[in-house]
Amino acid sequence: MIRLLAILLVGLLNVFAYAKANPNIVLILADDVSADMFSCYGQKGTARTPNIDRIAREGVQFRTCFAPAICAPSRALFMTGVYANRTGVFRNDMWAFDSRGKLFTAQHSWAKLLQRGGYKTAVAGKWHCGARKPWEKHIGFDEFCLWEGAGKIKGHFGIDIIANGQRKDIKLPDTRYWYPSTVQNGKYVKVTEKSFGPDIRCEFLMDFMERKAKAKEPFIAYWPTVIPHGPYSTTPDAGKVMDIELTKPDTTGMSREQKTKALAEYSHEQEQRFVNLIQYMDKLIGKLIVKAEKLGVYEDTYFIFCADNGTAVTAKDRGVERGVHVPYVVKGPGVKRRGITEELTDFADVAPTLLDIAGVKHPGDIPFDGQSQFDFLMGKTNAHREWIYAYTGPVQVLRTKDYLMEARSPLYGKPRGRFYFTGANRFGRGYERVDNYPKHAQEHAKFEKIIKSLPAHLEEGHPFWNSKLGKRWLQKNPDQSVLAKKQLYNHPKYSFYDETD
């Protein structure tokens, strides 16, 4: 009997050691939404996000996290931990150094490194990270469930889902939401018009989690969601099935008052749909949490939630703080419950943090630009980074806790950008413009020194402009003042501080 108890005790200790040595990771990346839309960030007009709030409450909520202001550069940095200055991924239409094809051969994917370290890896949702796909050997995902159009499914897997009758040939404004087009582990997922894409991908991840937990295999489940990227569809909880895109009102023949009213109603409904999508995403995140609890692995699993860039139209692709300020919350075994922290982080920190969580050593040949959050999360230190960095195309944004430099772009004729003293203020409120104040000159000089320490960033003479893609970009954008007008300034609705030239 004593021998049996001893064997059982050893077994339990082994399970405990396994859980601590090889924690699971659920990593969620929302699409096109600023930090100010989540209830844990305490701003007006947010969505109600109790499950994301729970992750923040049980761990750490970074009040200030920066990511590049547009999809492809953000996801490239997220996957590699290397800034665009070295990868070449500056904007969706700016891929320097052949980075569209070489991103994951010139740099390491954290998925591949975790896979080599014994982790089972899965991705579900939207990829949008160069020419290479998650199932290719350099990327490192064992399983996938991705939103892909019919043409791409045919091109990648030779499956003509329209011709063989697997999918109706109906024209839709988008296929990420209702009647979704999804490929899972090389096979088309059969759906009906009532099927909702995010549900399918969430179910895939829960199944993956269950299979790996039962097999006692450590896993990372990566969910780059399609939510709440436009078009702002209805959800299973709000609105009619297949109402994918709200029709803009035809104001022909209306009086000024009628036109104003119709457009205001349209704008209000669009905003409500946006909120509904965020709240539905939060509901699905709650399902992942409950699944981990039922599997008995919740206490041994890290949950990380963030977003790829600021809200579309009002923030996305703008080289200002709101364009790059994204949510970032994390909880997991050993994470010190700090609540909201004033420490800074950016997307260069994600890859080294994941490796430290998993106990996987970095090869060391391609250095990270970021710094692992691990020691800070574990309470081994109370400080993280002195500055964080982000960008979109030729525009750079840099921040310390008390100062902000944004809209810096030599190419657009703004080599010094705009410089602000913010103190503890965030979300654009209470910022003081201090470009030419002697009192702040020393801090301004520090920012310039940091910028100069980074590799070149699309200024005149950058190698990108002599490449085939660079020359093509210049031909397509002969009047760069049009782009500069958007990328260097806030949307009027969020212009809370001095942006004068």
Mean pLDDT of 458-473: 96
pLDDT score recorded for residue 1: 43
Global confidence as pTM: 0.95
DSSP 179-240: S--EEETTEE----TT-BHHHHHHHHHHHHHHHHHHTT--EEEEEE--TTPSS---BTTBS-
The proportion of the chain whose per-residue pLDDT surpasses 70, expressed as a percent, equals 96
pLDDT score recorded for residue 275: 98
pLDDT score recorded for residue 20: 56
Mean pLDDT of 330-334: 98
Query: Whole-number mean pLDDT of the chain?
Result: 95
Least Cα distance to 485 among 288, 319, 343, 338 occurs for 319
Spatial distance between the Cα atoms of 343 and 387, rounded to a whole number of angstroms = 10
Mean pLDDT of 458-470: 96
**What domains does the chain contain, in order, with CATH numbers?**
36-230+290-385 (3.40.720.10), 392-494 (no CATH)
pLDDT for 133-148, tens place per residue? 999 999 999 999 999 9
Are 316 and 92 in contact by the 8 Å Cβ rule? The answer is no
pLDDT score recorded for residue 21: 77
Give yes or no for residue 241 having a pLDDT over 60.
Answer: yes
